[in-house]
Chains A and B, each alone.
Chain A
Amino acid sequence: MKPFKQTHMSREDRAFTERQLKAAELSLARAEQSSDLAKDLKAGIEVTEQQKIAFDEAEQFRRGVQVSSKTSSALSTRRTNPFSPKRPVSQLHQVTDDITTHLSEAGYFQETADLKVRGMVTPTAKVREFNKRVSETGRKIEGLTEDLQQTRNFLGRYSRYSLIEGRQEEK
C-alpha cells in the first residue's frame, strides 16, 4: 500500500482536476449539441434524397407518357430537379468537423484528469466524485465517437454530392 501522502490529492491537484473535468464537460456538451444537429441534418438529407428520387421518377414517367401519346402539352417541358442534398451534405461535413474538434478536446481534458486522479484515495468523497465524472465523460466520448463514425459512413454514401459541391459554406 502506498503511503498516505502519495494517495492524497492536494488542494492544488483537486483544483487542477476540477478545471480539467469542467473543460472536458463543456467540450463534451458542445459535441453533444453538434451531434444532435448532425442527426437533424441526416434526417433532412434522407428526406431530400427521397424527394429527389421521386421527382426523377415523376419526370421519367411524364416524359414516357408524352412520347406514347405524342401530344404537345405542358408535359413536354423538361423540368430541373429542385431537390438536391448538396447543401445539407456540405453542412453535415462542417458539423462533423466541429464534433471531431470538440470530442478531441474533451478526450484530451478527460485523459489529463484521469491521469491526475489515478491511484488517489483521499479526500474520499472528492476522489470518488472525480472518478465518477472521469468514467462518465469517457463513456459519453465513446458513445459520441461511435455516432461520429456512423455519420462519416452516412456521408460516404453521399460522397457524390460532396465531390461536386466541395465543402464551401453557403452564404
Chain B
Amino acid sequence: MNSTPAPRNSGLQAIDLELARLKMVREMRKRFDQSAELLALGQITVSDALEWIHSATAVEHENSIQEEKRKKESQLLVLTKIEGIDTLLAEDLIDEFGSLQAIAQATPEELEIVPGINKTRAKEIVKELPKLMGQM
C-alpha cells in the first residue's frame, strides 16, 4: 500500500476555489454590464455583445469542469491508496456512494454492490479508508 499522506489543507483549497469562483462571477457580471451598456449606446453590435458574454460563460463553464475534475481526482487519489483499488474501481465506488464519507460509512456488504469489489477488497476499504481520511 502506498503510504504517501493526503494533502492536509483541503479546507483551505476549498476556500481558494470558492474565492476564485466568486471572482469569476463578479468578472462575468462586469463583462455583462459593459456589453449591455455598449450595446445600448450602439457602440457594439448584438453579435459582438453576445460573443463577449458567451465567451465568458464558456470560460466559467470550463473552470467549473476543471474544479470538479480536481475534486474527483483528489478523492480517487485517496481510494487508490487502498490495496486492490485501481482508478476505475475507485471511480465506480464514488459513482455508487457519492463521496468518500459515504464510502467510509458503508458496510462491507454494501460495498460489495459495486462490481469488482469482493469481500477482501470491501474489508480493506472499511479498514483503511477512515485512516486515510484522517490524514486529510
Contacts and interface: CB of A to CB of B under 8 A. Distances in A.
Contact of B96 (A29, A94, A122): A122
A125 B50 contact: no
Interface residues of A, number: 31
Contact of B40 (A33, A34, A88): A88
Interface in B19-47: 32, 35-36, 39-40, 42, 45-47
B113 interface: yes
Contacts of B36: 37, 40
Contacts of A26: 57-58, 61
B49 interface: yes
B104 interface: no
B91 A37 contact: no
Given A40-B36, A123-B96, A171-B45, A34 B50 contact: yes
B54 A123 contact: no
B54 A33 contact: yes
Contact of A36 (B32, B91, B98): B32
A159 B88 CA distance: 58
Contacts of B91: 11
Interface string A77-106: 000000000011001001100100000000
Interface string A118-143: 00001111101100000000000000
A37 B53 contact: yes
Nearest to A39: B36
Nearest to A5: B115
A129 B95 CA distance: 9
A124 B97 contact: yes
Interface string B87-127: 01001101111110010000000000111000000000000
A70 B40 CA distance: 41
Residue from A14, A41, A125 with most neighbouring chain B CB atoms (10 Å)? A125
Residue from B35, B95, B113 with most neighbouring chain A CB atoms (10 Å)? B95
A22 B94 contact: no
Given A91-B39, A128-B98, A169-B47, 15 more contacts: A30-B54, A33-B54, A34-B53, A37-B36, A37-B39, A37-B53, A88-B40, A94-B50, A98-B50, A123-B95, A124-B98, A125-B98, A126-B96, A126-B98, A170-B42
18 contacts: A11-B88, A26-B57, A33-B32, A37-B50, A40-B36, A40-B40, A41-B39, A41-B40, A88-B40, A91-B39, A94-B47, A98-B50, A124-B97, A124-B98, A126-B96, A126-B98, A128-B98, A169-B45
Interface of A: 8, 11, 14, 22, 25-26, 29-30, 33-34, 36-37, 40-41, 44, 87-88, 91, 94-95, 98, 122-126, 128-129, 169-171
